[in-house]
Structure formats: structure tokens, C-alpha cells
Amino acid sequence: MTKFTEVLEAWSHAIDSFKIIPRLLILLYMYLTYSCVFWYMGLEAPSLEQSGMVSVITSAQAVALGLFLGKSG
């Protein structure tokens, strides 16, 4: 094995063992949910469609977080 492949294998093992990508995706989705909720709270008179969108986004966040935390290693 070359030095490059050893380093690449070590990095891929670290990324996989620390679950960096799923954690980054959950953090990104949490930020997007936060932004969506504060956008909704800033509206003067939210419509039914806007209320539905925020409801779906926050529910999906709860499901995604539950699946991420409930997964056994």
C-alpha cells in the first residue's frame, strides 16, 4: 500500500467511525428548521399553506432526529 492510500483509509475510517456526515446532515436540517420557524413567526398573517409547510418541516425534523438517535450502532 502506498502512503496516500494509507492516509485515505485512515481518514475514511475516522469519518465512518465518528459518523461525521450523518451528524452534519442533522445539524444542517436543524438549522433549516430553525430558520423556517423564525420565518413563520415573523409573518404578519400566515396562510393555511404556510402553516402546513412549517408543520410538515418540523414533523420531518422530529422523525429524522428520532431515527438518527434511535439507531443502534
Range of the domain at 41: 21-70
Residue 49 domain flag: yes
Residue 5 domain flag: no
Residue 35 domain flag: yes
**How many structural domains comprise the chain?**
1
Residue 3 domain flag: no
Residue 44 domain flag: yes
Question: Model confidence over 9-44: pLDDT tens digits?
Answer: 999 888 888 888 888 989 999 999 999 999 999 999
Percent of the chain with pLDDT over 70: 96
Query: Cell 393555511 appears where?
Result: 48
> pTM of the prediction?
0.72
Q: Report yes or no: 23 and 64 within 8 Å, Cβ to Cβ.
A: no
Residue 16 domain flag: no
Residue 8 domain flag: no
Residue 32 domain flag: yes
